[in-house]
Amino acid sequence: MLMCRTLWVSIAAATVLVGVLLSAPAFAQAHIRGTLTAAKDGTISVQTAKGGTESIKLANDASLFLVTTVDMSAIQAGKFVGITSIEQDGKRVAREVHVFDESLRGLAEGHYPWDLESKPNMMTNANIAKIEEVGTDRVVRLNYARGEQTITIPMSATVVAFDKAPADQLAVGRKVFVVMKKDGSEAAAVVIGAEGVKPPM
């Protein structure tokens, strides 16, 4: 089943996500990950990893994004990326990298706590200022508005491209990552995995 209404993301919507809906204090309780089981009349149902099903209303201005699999060659200097990382052996190590389409540059920019794993992890959305190859790893220096981070990206890290999505991508069976509004009443954004792809963030 496909969504009937058109929900194209815009730069204005992205700005709202950055400034209001994706503020760091809301992250821990604002995400739902799972498989889409229904999508109708502005509401989606998501089966979570724990086996439960969440019925989620989409905000009228909800943004849709699509992630597709790419390889390490997509990680290039000058690209705006999002990286989920953990602290390991005195350095930050990436679990996943999503390479934003240029039209989404600046989306949720910064370095803040994330909820991908039970152990402490961080999300860094920033511009790649420099890349070095160290053995089979890549070490990237990231610049964002209020600072910078250096993160090691091992070959084991998942890498995806992150772009805008039309409503017909919101199809039953797809893996999704849902960003809820602060009050939990509606979904502000849905990241959809392409066929066979799980949003890694």
Tens digits of residue pLDDT in 43-71: 999 999 888 999 999 999 999 999 999 99
Looking at the chain, the whole-number percentage of residues with pLDDT higher than 90 is 81
The pLDDT tens digits of the residues spanning 142-200 come to 999 999 999 999 999 999 999 999 999 999 999 999 999 988 899 999 999 999 999 99
Count of Cβ atoms closer than 10 Å to residue 33 Cβ: 18
- Tokens 């799972």 -> residue: 34
The pTM of the full predicted model, rounded to 2 decimals, is 0.86
97: amino acid identity, one letter? V
Q: What are phi and psi of 102, to 5 degrees?
A: -60, -30
Q: What are phi and psi of 71, to 5 degrees?
A: -105, -175
Give the residues across from 53 on adjacent strands.
47
What is the model's pLDDT at position 26?
38
Query: Residue 2 pLDDT more than 80?
Result: no
What is the model's pLDDT at position 49?
84
Domains in the chain, start-ordered, CATH in brackets? 11-67+162-193 (2.40.50.140), 70-161 (no CATH)
Q: Which two tokens stand for residue 106?
A: 């600046």
- Tokens 């995400």 -> residue: 31
Q: What's the angle, vertex CA 35, arms to CA 33 and CA 40, rounded to 5? A: 110
Positive or negative, the Cα torsion across 79, 80, 84, 88? positive
Query: Residue 15 pLDDT more than 60?
Result: no
